[in-house]
Structure 1
Amino acid sequence: MNDSTEGKYLHAALGQRISIRGARTHNLKNVDLDLPRYQLVVITGLSGSGKSSLAFDTLYAEGQRRYVESLSAYARQFLQLMDKPDVDVIEGLSPAISIEQKATSHNPRSTVGTVTEIHDYLRLLYARAGTPYCPVHEIPLQSQTVSQMVDAVLALPEDTRLMILAPVARDRKGEFTELFAEMQGQGYVRFRVAGEIYEFDNLPKLKKTEKHDIDVVIDRLKVKPDIQQRLAESFEAALRLADSRAVAMEMDSGKEHLFNAKFACPICHYSLAELEPRLFSFNSPVGACPSCDGIGTMEFFDPQRVVAFPELSLAGGAIKGWDRRNPYYFSMIESMGKHYKFDVDTAFEKLPANVRKALLQGSGEEEVKFTYALESGPSAGRKVNKKHPFEGILPNMERRYRETDSAAVREELARYRSLQPCPTCEGTRLRSEARHVRLGEGPQGRAIYEIGRMTLRDSQAWFEQLALKGAKAEIADKVVREIGARLKFLNDVGLNYLSLDRSAETLSGGEAQRIRLASQIGSGLTGVMYVLDEPSIGLHQRDNDRLIGTLQHLRDLGNSVLVVEHDEDMIRAADYVVDMGPGAGIHGGQVVAQGTPAEVLADPASLTGRYMSGALQIPVPKQRNHLGQQPDPQVIKIVGARGNNLKDVTVEVPVGLFTCVTGVSGSGKSTLVNDTLYTAVARELYRAHEEPAPHDAIEGIEHFDKVINVDQSPIGRTPRSNPATYTGLFTPIRELMAETTIAKERGYGPGRFSFNVAGGRCEACQGDGVVKVEMHFLPDVYVPCDVCRGQRYNRETLEVLWKGRNIAQILDMTVEDAYEFLKPVPSIARKLQTLTEVGLSYIKLGQAATTLSGGEAQRVKLALELSKRDTGRTLYILDEPTTGLHFADIDLLLKVLHQLRDAGNTIVVIEHNLDVIKTADWVIDMGPEGGDGGGTLVLAGTPEELAKHPGSHTGRYLQRLL
């Protein structure tokens, strides 16, 4: 970018810039700022410095509010209205669209296909250009019009004697007296029953219990050129009587010609009404699988959960509730043992397969002799014998689960259930008819669910080579182009490893955000302001370049693109950069530097600029601890991991070191670490119920007494949760208040100082501090409570002071201020110290959990773990902990993680950030690609070894830093 272009922004006419004056939202300190329109603007700065307050809570909120207020009052009631931001004036705003990192949907019916609307196009395509097949014979179904049927008959040799029949019953039981009478009433007097022709008066008496084939004789004629009209009328009559079917039988040879106005199989007459888009929707009763209602999974009693200890015998407790401790059920097991000749003291896993099947699924028709002891009445204790089939342990649990009225029994049984693919539709969500419609010719043809299971990369390739013929090609052309364009955008934002049938609730925040981004590009809007929140989250450096290209494409369409971002490549690619700071929380909220990337880099006041120019940097450790250095290295070994796309991976994780798991998006990192390692260790140490992903073994769990997964899920879903309640600070603070003289005189205990229970809280707002006022066509307004003025407590509680401050004032302090104030109390000071160490000195103790970002929530959890007493035998697992963190925050976080490691703990981090990878002791690189092209181990070694590895995408980018 040359100097003349750089200078043009600030001299631009007002129409070419967004002008903000006096922005005071959250911690912003009266910010005045001019941003260029129709450019890619990156807002960066420390966590908590006010980036989101400026981008989302000020610019987006005002852009959205103005647009919504321009609509009618009727339309406004259906839209969520934003609060008016605290700002004097904003000029030059466009309608705003925000693309945040929220999980798309918790609806199990939402998939990548439905969210991107590709599924809607696919349904239309299959309904208009698909070919239905017979589920049994795998041959295309054919449908014919009456004129096609007439032409087929006229093609027979002249003078062929024909009988036109209506097949009214095929393979059906009954006497059919009513049917015959009804047909006679319509003027039909001849019938074909079991291949023989009968007049109405001498019809045979049919047996009710036997199956019969019955045809009504519609007409008898000879093939002649002039019978066209008569044939057409006969066929129409036959189709009307026999559910769109007709038969033309050659009377001399007995040869039959079958016709069907619906799609039908010429062999078994399996037929299908006309194809329509609803048939391919699993959200419509027309297309959904009738067993699972289109969800694709069903809850079943899981044999692996029911047989919790297969190494034990049935008598010794292999199956809880069916051992010696339960005489009623155990007597059944003993009877089964006598019948099938097995010993109840043999380990369950060593019993023959047929015995295990009979025990779990039941004995079917086979009767077993059971001995029961009568429990009550005059004959109590007497034994009686009964012969009947054995119900089976799984069907028994299923029946009890269905029939019980007890919530406790249902809850206990639910522990043995797990979600499994629906056996009817095999997890495809669709009914049989929809599963047997294919698009494409011959072996290239695919059913709609097969397209759904492909990765997006493979789907795009398949549509590019799709060749349809004739009218179908013409009909499909536009729809295929639309699908292809959407798939291309999804692949361009680095999502090529996802599939269209992937459930939306399993997507990470970054993936969900990039899917919405691709949908926006597909919509092709111009003149809009897009506000994005860290779109590079969860992306490998390799995919980052494509993402930047996508954002530039969005800008080139004629839009203003505002991005809150810490990624160095993104900042360098921006047209304009705003650096917020200088600190976090109350120490932030100011614009420290602004201008082109080059100007910000040269500005000594900009912390971001100093990290990017190399003046400040996160150091590479002078010496690494690694496996090779230890005389007898301890490892935890994952053997044969096969979950999702993992291909039988065996890998060792060093105990007591800091290990980074890297690889492109979709290469199998989360499956290996979260779904396999964490879940298996948690199951072993805590008897957790969650099933780990398929693997052969995990060796070395004995090195740990705790496993902690510090993820980015919210620390609470209501405004009543806050950092003080989550970290356990609130309890000692309440106890401290209860120890004061005035509290003791009044008899107040710690409960008095909780805003969650009646007593000490303000009852007017029930301890919320705000009252909701419903405004109907305007957004609901939350106003501070008149009674407590937003302090949450009643007057008597607020009269209790410790060192001159009441409970509400303490909760309103930042962590930093609270540390200075509460230093004399060691139990509180230690927790506040750890919150400062993870870089959260700026958050308030009573700040609502709902206002914390994912990265902040993760660090609150990390602080809680750090404040606990440490045994030095903990396995810590972190999934992308640098999300939302500035270079300076990452430096702080790494110090904390290295401190944990130095205490003897094992740290496993999934991460794309190169600054974290370069400081790790050990790196496990997965790949080489995402989806099907991934799932293998590229390398396990030091960062230096990875940087030299030619097959590693991560190594290629790491070379620059080492």
Structure 2
Amino acid sequence: MKDMIRIRGARENNLKNVSLDVPKHQFVVVTGPSGSGKSTLALDLLQRECQRQYMESNGESGESLEKPDVDSIDGLSPSIAVNQHRTNRNPRSTVGTVTDMYTYLRLIFQKKGERRCLNCQTLIPPPVDEQEAIHCPACARVHEPLTKAAFSFNTPSGACPSCSGLGTVTDINKDAVFQMDKSLEEGAVTFWYDSVRQYYTAILEAAGGYYGLDIRGNKALNAYSEAELDLLFYGVESDTFARHFPHTKPPKTVSKGKFEGVLTGMWRRYQEKNGQSGEAAYFILQECRSCKGERLKKETREVTVCSRTLPSICKSSIHDLHQWIGDVQRFYKQADDSLLHTVLHDLSVKVERVIRVGLGYLSLDRNSVTLSGGEAQRLRLASILGSGLTGVLYLLDEPTAGLHPKDTDGLVDIMKQLCNLGNTVLVIEHDPRVIAEADHVIDVGPAAGRFGGEIVGQGTLVELMNQPASITGTYLKHERRLQGAKRPGNGKTITIHKANKHNLKDVTASFPLQTLTAVTGVSGSGKSSLVFDVLAEATPSHFEGCQHISGLEHVDAIIRVDQAPLSRMQRSNVATYMDLFAYLRKLFAALPAAKERGLSAKSFSFNTPGGRCDRCEGLGQVAVDMHFLSHVQVECPVCHGKRFKEDVLAVTFSGYTIADMLNLRIEESLALFDSQKKLTSLLQLLCEVGLGYLQWGQPVTTLSGGEAQRLKLAKELARHTAGHTLYLLDEPTTGLHPSDIENLFVLLGKLVDAGNTVVVVEHTTELIAASDWVIDMGPGGGDAGGKVVATGKPQDIAEEKGSFTGAFLAPYL
């Protein structure tokens, strides 16, 4: 009992009265096909029950957290879930701040920083006492001591006053707003439409008359004087314009020329609507001119330790930080400063853990919002290891997402270290190499949705391979391989010439058209920069981050399908995103029972008043204030989670209410709509991209990055784009069981065979080996990457000795 978590009679979601024992203090992997019930077992069952029991043990009511549908769970420990959902959207949050590495660096710079005298620029040595003022050894000028807060961009004493420590400022792209070679009548202000243009032109001409300026509707802006442009840009009440007429009071009425100014008005509307104004697209983020993106005040950003400033360390990779720490340790080796030695040692250990999970290419100033789900999870995992907690149940959701096979061993080592501390690590994972390293494997299956929810295998991987019911064991035992089509392409290419975006080092790369091309390489090698920051943003007449792109005229459209969240709205779900729900509402509204009750399609919407439950406003849940804890969502006491009013729920289609339909899984509902061709084609498409296990009403906010991407892909495919389309996908296999990758591979092949081109940024070795063409980036990540290591067929990459990817390809060819 002590060494087991004992689950009896679990019926949560699709689990079929599951009973099993999970060994504690071991590295346990839960695997199985997508939608089979892995997340339900780990997160919905174990995590929620851990939270509920923890609250009850602290004398708080556990009623606010719904008890999972299970007879009993014994032997639980306090749990920490490390998943891929990014909750921190604070623009001030960086890799350095979330890992606490930046806090350590601030302390080092406070203690050992050398600064320049503000008077004579002489180098002032580090202070002996950080609390006392220091004197310049040359001119004796007194300098106030720099505190730890002075090195923080999140405090007034440290932040650059121009950008408030963000390193960027929001500005208006004037080139997009004004066409200087045109007159107002010709559309010089690009977002003014006919009636608006006439109205504002009349006011500006009146203002011109008021001040004696030559402002006419037919005069090109490049012929305006400085005062005339200031009037147009900033308005009559601005200081910028008033300096031209210091003794003239501005007009009081519109008829006399009271004009707000184009840019002034844009700023006002932008601020009033929190950045969501109609002209928001004209606002751009630019590097702060004062601090050049370094975030700190001038005095602190110039302080050095071992010849490096704090901003320069933060902009370089964590690999470089590790080297610098070594330099500082050697320089101060003889110093009698136990605090410094402790800080340097602890920081070094933190850095080594981050490098060990394959994130050494990240920089400390990288905004945490821009991290992928896998990166954020591994970063948190590396931080957790330093906590020293024991007796904890760690629940991880696919930590290898976005990780090159080269770095998998380091990640497994970190997880095993957590076990060695006396913890239990339970991981949802599909990677065969991670499964092989597990102490215990739980295989959930045999398929998705209602066809899953059973434990089809347990034990080590070798034991699983000898259990015929185990889907994972059977798949890995027979070593089924994807069969590549070895397409030669149509002879045409798109070529990026001398790309230098981010860490790319004058990269020239060609993408053969009408092929499946995999862009590979270790994490941070420049794959996404090449494909999504250069190629995806290009048009035949415009490209950035490279010298030139040739061949774009051969494709009719570029469709980018990445892992960015689909929506942050709780109301957006799979059915609404795919436009399935609109068809369903019309179908229900056309039923005789709906007509008898006077119900329209609007009555079957949970997003508008009418048919939806008034208490929860169609969400099925209401928030409960937990006082000092975050709010918890519980079932609505009026509709009991059904979202709609009773008269709406009285209408059924094939025995299902509109609420029942939202709880159905995609593949389960296929048989209901044989006569509805449009609905059936959309449902089949979702099954083809491996999402048949999702429920109609599943909120898109709960989808993983891989699921979100495949849902976007399904929506794009539903549009039936004409002509040659270039599809750019970011790790589409994320979250897929090896058996599901086959289905996705077939779909991608169909796209290519239909005359399109598919480019995937990918780490899954099996898919790379079956691709038609490979572009391998590297050799390392960050500054150590940004080059093309090899290009060619998968066999060519496998034979390239300098390719990390090639080393893992050989067994698959």
Q: TM-score, normalised by structure 2?
A: 0.87
The answer to whether the 8 A contact 1:637-1:700 is kept is yes
Query: Is the contact made by 2:540 and 2:553 (CA closer than 8 Å) also made in structure 1?
Result: no
Q: Does residue 463 in structure 1 map to residue 325 in structure 2?
A: yes
Output aligned runs, 1:743-762, within 5 Å: 743-762=594-613
- Map 1:341-360 → 2, pairs under 5 A: none
Determine whether 1:119 maps to 2:102.
yes
Partners of 2:181 and 2:221 within 8 A in 1: no
**Counterpart residue number, 1:673:** 531
Secondary structure in 2 aligned to 1:101?
coil
The aligned runs of 1:129-140 (5 Å cut-off) are 129-134=112-117, 137-140=120-123
Distance 1:455 1:678, change over 3 A: same
Using a 3 Å threshold, how does the CA distance of structure 1 residues 447 and 310 change in structure 2: closer, same or farther? Answer: same
Give me the whole-angstrom Cα distance separating, in 2, the residues matched to 1:817 and 1:542. Answer: 39
1:144 and 1:506 mapped to 2: Cα distance? 38
Partner of 1:263: 134
What's the counterpart of residue 226 of structure 2?
Answer: none
CA contact (8 A) 2:612 2:643 kept: yes
Is 2:588 aligned against 1:725? Answer: no
Question: Separation in 1 of the partners of 2:206 and 2:517?
Answer: 53
Q: How many Å apart are 1:747 and its aligned residue?
A: 4.3
Other-structure match for 1:285? 156
- CA apart distance, 1:404: 6.8
2:95 touches 2:364 (CA, 8 Å); kept in 1?
Answer: yes
Letter in 1 for 2:91: P
Alignment partner, residue 625 of structure 1: 487
Query: Could you tell me whether the CA contact under 8 Å between 1:47 and 1:889 is conserved in 2?
Result: yes
Match of 1:223 in 2: none
Deviation digits for residues 219-241 of structure 1 (CA, Å, limit 9, x no counterpart):
xxxxxxxxxxxxxxxxxxxxxxx
State the match for 1:524 in structure 2: 388
Per the alignment, residue 503 of structure 1 pairs with: 367
- 1:666 corresponds to which letter in structure 2? G
Per the alignment, do residues 142 and 568 of structure 1 end up closer, same or farther by CA in structure 2, a change over 3 Å counting? closer
- State how far apart, in whole Å, the 2-side matches of 1:276 and 1:889 are: 55
State the match for 1:537 in structure 2: 401
C-alpha distance in structure 1 between counterparts of 2:134 and 2:421, whole Å: 46
Q: Distance in 2 between matches of 1:509 and 1:472?
A: 43
State how far apart, in whole Å, the 1-side matches of 2:377 and 2:23 are.
Answer: 24
Output the amino acid matched with 1:298: V
Aligned counterparts of 1:332 and 1:668: Cα–Cα separation in 2 = 53
Distance in 1, matches of 2:48 and 2:605, equals: 34
SS in 2 for 1:793: coil
Q: Give the match's secondary structure for 2:386.
A: helix
> Matched residue of 1:15: which SS?
coil
Relative distance call for 1:910 and 1:312 in structure 2 (3 A) is farther
Judge conservation of contact 2:373–2:705 (CA < 8 Å) in 1.
no
Among candidates 343, 346, 349, match of residue 482 of structure 1: 346
Say if 2:813 is the partner of 1:942. Answer: no
- Offset of residue 397 of structure 1: 5.5
Structure 1 equivalent of residue 429 of structure 2: 565
C-alpha spacing 1:587/1:414, structure 2 compared with 1 (3 Å): closer
Matched to 1:449, the amino acid is: P
Is the contact between residue 302 and residue 418 of structure 1 (CA under 8 Å) also seen in structure 2?
A: yes
Q: 1:786 to 1:542 in 2, by over 3 A?
A: closer
Selected match of 1:491 from 351, 355, 365: 355
**Would you say the 8 A contact 2:571–2:619 is kept in 1?**
yes
The amino acid that maps onto 1:21 is R
Compared CA separation, residues 33 and 936, structure 1 to 2 (3 A): same
**Residues 508 and 961 of structure 1: is their aligned pair in 2 closer, same or farther, counting only changes over 3 Å?**
same
CA distance in 2 between counterparts of 1:446 and 1:779 reads 41
Alpha-carbon deviation of 1:332?
A: 12
Which residue identity lines up with residue 483 of structure 2 in the other structure? V
Deviations 1:428-478 (A, max 9, x none): 1111221132223xxxx2222222122111111111122127657544111
User: In 2 relative to 1, CA 52–135 (structure 1 residues): closer, same or farther, beyond 3 Å?
Assistant: farther
CA pair 470-638 structure 1, distance change in 2 beyond 3 A: same
Counterpart for residue 237 of structure 2: none
- Unaligned stretches of 5+ in structure 2? 224-228, 235-239
For structure 1, which segment, 784-793 or 949-958, has the greater mean C-alpha deviation from structure 2 after superposition? 784-793
Q: What is the CA–CA distance in structure 2 between the aligned matches of 1:311 and 1:640, rounded to whole Å?
A: 33
- 1:580 alignment partner, SS class: strand
* Contact 2:85-2:704 at 8 Å conserved across structures: no
In the alignment, the residues of structure 1 paired with residue 127 and residue 591 of structure 2 have an alpha-carbon distance, to the nearest angstrom, of: 91
| Aligned equivalent of 2:44 | 57
- 1:654–1:597: structure 2 CA closer, same or farther, 3 Å change rule? same
Answer yes or no: is 1:419 the counterpart of 2:270.
Answer: no
Question: By how many angstroms is 1:412 displaced?
Answer: 5.3
Q: Is the 8 Å Cα contact of residues 406 and 804 (structure 2) preserved in structure 1?
A: yes
CA-CA distance at 1:49 after TM superposition: 1.0
Aligned to 2:667: 816
Bigger CA drift: 770-779 or 760-769? 770-779
SS of 1:561's partner is: strand
Partner SS state of residue 97, structure 1: strand
CA deviation vs aligned residue, 1:36-62 (integer Å, no higher than 9, x gap): 221111111011111111112222333
The equivalent position to 1:39 in structure 2, one of 26, 30, 35, is 26
* Residues 446 and 456, structure 2, Cα contact 8 Å, conserved in 1: yes
Q: 1:842: how far off?
A: 2.5
Q: Which residue of the other structure, out of 679, 690, 711, is the alignment partner of 1:828?
A: 679
1:362-381 to 2 correspondences below 5 Å: none
Q: Which residue of structure 2 aligns with residue 245 of structure 1?
A: none
Query: Which protein is bigger by CA-based radius of gyration?
Result: 1
Q: Which moved more, 1:732-741 or 1:453-462?
A: 732-741
Q: Deviations over 1:202-249 (max 9, x none)?
A: xxxxxxxxxxxxxxxxxxxxxxxxxxxxxxxxxxxxxxxxxxxxxxxx
SS in 2 for 1:617: coil
Query: Hey, what's the Cα distance between the residues in 2 that align with 1:736 and 1:473?
Result: 76
Describe the shift of the 1:347–1:881 C-alpha distance in structure 2 as closer, same or farther (beyond 3 A).
Answer: farther
* In structure 1, C-alpha distance between the alignment counterparts of 2:738 and 2:358, rounded to whole Å: 24
Alignment of 1:883-902 (within 5 A): 883-902=734-753
Please tell me the root mean square deviation across aligned C-alpha atoms, in Å. Answer: 4.1
Q: Amino acid of the residue matched to residue 551 of structure 1? A: M
- Residue 298 of structure 1 is matched in structure 2 by 169
Q: Distance in 2 between matches of 1:71 and 1:380?
A: 71
Aligned to 2:500: 642
Asked if 1:110 corresponds to 2:97, the answer is no
Residue 922 in structure 1 maps to residue 773 in structure 2:
yes
Is the Cα contact below 8 Å between 2:233 and 2:262 reproduced in 1? no
Shift of 1:319: 6.9
- The amino acid across from 1:880 in the alignment is E
Would the aligned equivalents of 1:737 and 1:800 in 2 still touch at CA under 8 Å? Answer: yes
Residues 134-170 of structure 1 show CA distances to partners (whole Å, capped at 9, x for unaligned) of: 357542236999xx9xxxxxxxxxxxxxxxxxxxxxx
1:411 partner SS? coil
**What is the letter of the counterpart of residue 704 of structure 1?**
V
Query: Structure 1 residues 144 and 485 mapped into 2: Cα distance closer, same or farther (>3 Å)?
Result: closer
Partner in structure 1 of residue 447 of structure 2? 583
* Alignment of 1:273 onto 2:144: yes
| Conserved? CA contact 1:303–1:360, under 8 Å | no
CA contact (8 A) 2:114 2:126 kept: no
CA–CA separation in structure 2 for the residues paired with 1:700 and 1:903:
20
Give the direction of change, closer, same or farther, for the CA distance of 1:720–1:103 in structure 2 (3 Å limit): closer
Does the CA contact (< 8 Å) of 1:128 and 1:275 recur in 2?
A: no
Opposite residue 866 of structure 1, the aligned amino acid is: L
Task: State the Cα distance separating 1:504 from its structure 2 match.
Answer: 1.0
Q: 1:368 to 1:93 in 2, by over 3 A?
A: closer
What is the rounded CA distance, in whole Å, between the counterparts of 2:653 and 2:502 in structure 1? Answer: 56
Q: Deviations over 1:596-625 (max 9, x none)?
A: 111012222111112212x2513222x411
For 1:729 and 1:705, how far apart are their aligned partners in 2? 28
| From 298, 303, 311, the counterpart of 1:432 | 298
Quote the Cα distance in structure 2 between the aligned partners of 1:595 and 1:271. 70
1:840-865 deviation per Cα after TM superposition (whole angstroms, max 9, x unaligned): 22322223334433333322222222
1:923–1:941 CA contact under 8 A, matched in 2: yes
Cα deviation for residue 669 of structure 1 reads 0.9
TM normalised by structure 1 equals 0.74
